[in-house]
């Protein structure tokens, strides 16, 4: 059995966790000796972290739109037509500035909470500060691929988890089916293969399987597809 952190690893899950913690902490603040100033500070941290994640996503989608617009300017794609030039995103008003180290601060606060004589397991469960215990079973491990475009190149990301590597496969729809790209020991990979000279647009499929100590284990991932355009 393995105990993992009560704070999730991904930024999106961190935002959900922090919002739950911030929303519910006021219920227990008095009993746990947490001041109103500390609650206010936590609320500001939560507002800023949510705002920055939303801002990042706005710019990411805008960059994708600009890249697609640029590619269609260079080469016509089927019956598709370009609309107006992509516009910069409209930003909401930023919340009050906070110091760096949001999750450093909240971790210290959680340590204080757990040392309080008023702390109970039910409080910990409600605040989301009790780390789950996972049973490690390699036979059911299954990679989850995330494929996006980095410029014009497919960018494949996959958490290694408890594995040592992943075997990554691609089907470029060239009649060869899925072929092994390689055994990857890092969590992301940019596919630099070029489209054939006579192909402007193609959909490539990716899948992967985990590797532990040079042995392939667990389940093959779901197939994840992305449209690739000639630059």
Give dist(CA 17, CA 109) in Å, integer: 15
Check whether residue 155 and residue 184 sit in a common domain: yes
Check whether residue 101 and residue 172 sit in a common domain: no
Confidence of residue 4 (pLDDT cuts 50, 70, 90): low
Q: What is the pLDDT of residue 1?
A: 47
Check whether residue 115 and residue 217 sit in a common domain: no
* Average pLDDT estimate for 12-41: 97
Q: Can you give the residue range of the structural domain that contains 102?
A: 2-134
The enclosing domain of 203 has a CATH number of 2.60.40.10
User: Is 70 exceeded by the pLDDT of residue 2?
Assistant: no
Check whether residue 130 and residue 149 sit in a common domain: no
* Average pLDDT estimate for 38-63: 95
Check whether residue 192 and residue 107 sit in a common domain: no
DSSP the chain: -EE--SS-SSHHHHHHHHHHHHHHHHHHHHHHT--HHHHHHHHHHHHHHHHHHHHHHHHHHHHHHHHHHHHHHHS--TT----SPPPPPPPPPP-----S-HHHHHHHHHHHHHHSTT--HHHHHHHT-S--EE---GGG-----EEEEETTEEEEE---TT-SEEEEEEE-SSSS-SEEEEEE-SSEEE--PPPPTT-SEEEEEEEEEEEETTEEES-PPPPEEEEEE--
Domain boundary residue among 90, 108, 134? 134
Confidence of residue 81 (pLDDT cuts 50, 70, 90): confident
Check whether residue 39 and residue 107 sit in a common domain: yes
Confidence of residue 72 (pLDDT cuts 50, 70, 90): confident
Q: How many domains does the chain have?
A: 2
Check whether residue 158 and residue 119 sit in a common domain: no
- What tens digit of pLDDT does each residue of 99-157 get? 999 999 999 999 999 999 999 999 999 999 998 876 778 999 999 999 999 988 999 99
Contact 110, 129 (CB under 8 A): yes
What are residue 157's DSSP bridge partners?
Answer: 146, 188
Model-level pTM?
Answer: 0.57
Residue among 107, 109, 95, 7 at smallest CA distance from 52: 95
Check whether residue 113 and residue 166 sit in a common domain: no
Check whether residue 106 and residue 165 sit in a common domain: no
Counting residues of the chain whose pLDDT is more than 70, the rounded percentage is: 97
Residue among 64, 52, 49, 65 at smallest CA distance from 16: 49
* Average pLDDT estimate for 35-42: 97
Domain boundary residue among 102, 134, 166? 134
Q: What does the block give as tokens for 173?
A: 């729809």
Q: What is the pLDDT of residue 41?
A: 97
Q: What is the mean pLDDT of the chain?
A: 92
* Average pLDDT estimate for 198-219: 95
Check whether residue 86 and residue 56 sit in a common domain: yes
Q: What does the block give as tokens for 156?
A: 């494949």
More confident residue, 223 or 64: 223
Check whether residue 90 and residue 8 sit in a common domain: yes
Check whether residue 171 and residue 67 sit in a common domain: no
Domain boundary residue among 134, 155, 175? 134
């Amino acid at each position: 059995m393995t105990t993992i952190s009560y704070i999730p690893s991904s930024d999106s899950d961190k935002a959900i966790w922090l919002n739950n913690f911030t929303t519910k902490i006021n219920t227990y603040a008095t009993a746990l000796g947490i001041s109103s100033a500390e609650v206010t500070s936590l609320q500001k941290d939560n507002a800023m972290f949510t705002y920055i994640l939303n801002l990042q996503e706005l710019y990411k989608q805008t960059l994708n739109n600009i890249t697609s617009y640029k590619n269609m300017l260079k080469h016509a794609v089927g019956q598709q037509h370009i609309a107006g030039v992509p516009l910069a995103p409209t930003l909401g008003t930023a919340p009050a500035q906070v110091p760096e180290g949001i999750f450093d601060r909240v971790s210290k606060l959680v340590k204080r909470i757990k040392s309080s004589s008023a702390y109970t397991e039910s409080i910990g469960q409600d605040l989301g500060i009790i780390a789950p215990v996972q049973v490690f079973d390699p036979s059911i491990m299954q990679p989850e691929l995330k494929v996006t475009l980095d410029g014009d190149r497919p960018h494949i990301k996959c958490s290694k988890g408890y594995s040592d590597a992943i075997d990554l496969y691609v089907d470029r729809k060239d009649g060869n089916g899925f072929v092994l790209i390689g055994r990857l020991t890092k969590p992301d990979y940019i596919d630099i293969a070029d489209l054939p000279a006579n192909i402007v647009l193609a959909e490539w499929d990716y899948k992967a399987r985990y590797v532990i100590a040079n042995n392939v284990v667990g389940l093959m991932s779901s197939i994840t597809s992305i449209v690739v355009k000639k630059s």
